[in-house]
Amino acid sequence: MQHKKYEPHIRLPFRIFDDPQFRTIPKSYRSSCLAILVCLLKFTNSKTRQCYPRVATISSMIGMGRTTIFRCLAYLQRAGIITRKRLTSSVLYTIQPQYIVGVQNTNTIVPYMNTPSSKYEHINKTNSNITNIINKVVEQGEYSNTTIVEALSSLPLAELEYGHKNNDNPYLCKLAIDLKKEQETKYVDTDVINKTLQNVTKKTNYFYKNKVEENKRKSGRISATKNFLSSVKKKG
């Protein structure tokens, strides 16, 4: 029996369609982002997970305009699916291991020492609190980046910062960090501000200052008179 000649092919994990990171990409761009991811996988080295095809090459493969390609690459990066690094004459793309069939996710447990968030160093990213929260929001049906970010902002700031640094839904983590910091900002009560402004205005007013000085002079004269009368009584 003659064996068929091996034919190169591209494989994608089925879970990408329910992947919370992929689903953060706007619906109108998901199909285009998926097409571009397939193009990147065609050139990706399975050991390094890296490739550097030109935008013109991607455009000729799938018939997509350069503007759309650049926009989709940005969405893929924001979703934490790829990273980009500018080289001298091209761009180096690195695809996260969970999006490559047959490649072990060596970044599942990430060592991260000597930081305030080091207690999170052994979090399994596939079951992290961040991923679990995103999955719960997505499973509820009606969701958006806003609802996901609001849910993530309930996590400790240190955990969100750790997730952001270690590529655990970094784009959403960054938005949640910004929201959490905004929520925790302490604002001065408006009544306190108004009262302070009134005091400043009052104390810098010309007539008020003159009245204060006049009262001081009167108070001084009254005090001197009382002292004088007191001394006279003692002598009498």
Its sign, for the CA torsion 191, 193, 194, 196, is positive
Distances (CA, A) of 98 to 11, 19, 130, 219, 223: 12, 10, 16, 83, 86
Fold classification of 14-99 (topology level)? Arc Repressor Mutant, subunit A (1.10.10)
Residue 73 tokens read as 């690459």
Give the pLDDT confidence score for residue 12 in this predicted structure.
85
- Statement: residue 32 has pLDDT above 90: yes
pTM over 0.85: no
- Taking residues 223-228, what's their average pLDDT? 65
- Listed residue (137, 131, 195) closest to 159, CA to CA: 131
- Statement: residue 210 has pLDDT above 80: no
Whole-number average pLDDT of the chain? 77
Distances (CA, A) of 199 to 20, 23, 231: 54, 55, 40
Q: How many CA atoms lie within 13 A of 49 on its CB side?
A: 18
Torsion of CA 176, 177, 182, 183, to 10 degrees: 60
Give the pLDDT confidence score for residue 187 in this predicted structure.
57
Of 25-34, 169-178, 184-193, least confident by mean pLDDT is 184-193
Give the pLDDT confidence score for residue 117 in this predicted structure.
41
- Listed residue (38, 40, 26) closest to 71, CA to CA: 26
List, by residue range, all CATH 1.10.10.10 domains of the chain.
14-99
Q: How many Cβ atoms sit within 10 Å of the Cβ of residue 24? A: 24
Most confident of 12-21, 211-220, 225-234: 12-21
Please answer whether residues 64 and 53 qualify as being in contact, where contact means their C-beta atoms are separated by less than 8 angstroms: no
Report pLDDT digits (tens) over 101-159.
Answer: 876 544 433 333 333 444 444 444 455 788 788 877 777 766 667 788 888 888 888 88
